[in-house]
Structure 1
Amino acid sequence: MVKEHLQFTLFEKGIFERVVLKPPMKAPGIMHNEACFLYAVEGESKVFSAVSDIMLRTEEAVVMKCGNYLNDWLETTEQSFCQAIAIHFYPDVLKKLYDKELPEFFKSVKDIQPTCIEKVKSSRLLKNYINSLQFYFENPDLVNDELLKLKLKEIILLLVNTDKSGSMKGLLASLFTPTEYSFKELVEANIYNNLSLDELALLHGVSLSSFKREFNKVYKESPGRYFKRRKLERAAKLIISTNERIGEIAFNCGFSEVAHFSNSFQDQFGCSPTAYRVSQNNN
Structure 2
Amino acid sequence: MKIDEKDFGKAFLYSCYVEKVFGHEQFIPEHVVLFQLSGETHFDLEKGKLTTRAGQILVARRNQLAKAFKYPSENLAYQSISIMLHADRLKKYALDHQLSADRKQQADTNILLEGDVFIKSYFESLAPYAEAADRVSPQMETIKIYELITLLLERYPALKDLLFDFSEPHKIDLEEFMLKNYKYNVPLENFAKLSGRSLASFKRDFEKMFRTSPRKWLKEKRLSEAYYLIENKRKRPAEIYLDLGFENLSHFYASFKEKFGITPAAINSIA
Q: Same fold (TM over 0.5)?
A: yes
2:26, 2:184 within 8 Å by CA — same for their partners in 1? no
2:57–2:112: 8 Å Cα contact kept in structure 1? yes
Matches within 5 A, 1:232-243: 232-243=223-234
User: How many Å apart are 1:28 and its aligned residue?
Assistant: 6.8
Please list every run of 5 or more consecutive structure 2 residues that lacks an aligned counterpart in the other structure.
Answer: none
Which of 78, 90, 107 matches 2:102? 107
- How has the CA–CA distance of structure 1 residues 274 and 73 changed in structure 2, closer, same or farther, with 3 Å as cutoff? closer
Q: What does residue range 1-283 of structure 1 map to in structure 2 within 5 Å? A: 4-6=7-9, 17-20=11-14, 26=25, 30=29, 35-39=31-35, 61-65=57-61, 67-68=62-63, 83-87=81-85, 90-91=90-91, 93-97=93-97, 100=98, 106-108=101-103, 114-125=106-117, 126-132=119-125, 134=127, 151-160=148-157, 172=162, 175-180=165-170, 181-201=172-192, 203=194, 208-279=199-270
Deviation at 1:178, TM superposition (A): 3.5
How many residue pairs align between the two structures? 250
C-alpha contact (below 8 Å) 2:34/2:81 kept by paired residues: no
Percent of paired sites with the same residue:
21
User: When the two structures are superposed, what TM-score results if normalisation uses the length of structure 1?
Assistant: 0.60
TM-score by length of 2: 0.63
Question: Structure 1 residues 53, 171: closer, same or farther in 2, change over 3 A?
Answer: farther
Q: Helix, strand or coil: the match of 1:252?
A: coil
Amino acid at match of 1:157: E
Alpha-carbon deviation of 1:226? 0.9
Gaps of 5+ in 1: 8-16, 161-167
Letter in 2 for 1:158: R
Contact 1:73 1:82 in 2 (8 A): no
Mark the CA change 1:37 to 1:259 in structure 2 (over 3 Å): closer, same or farther. closer
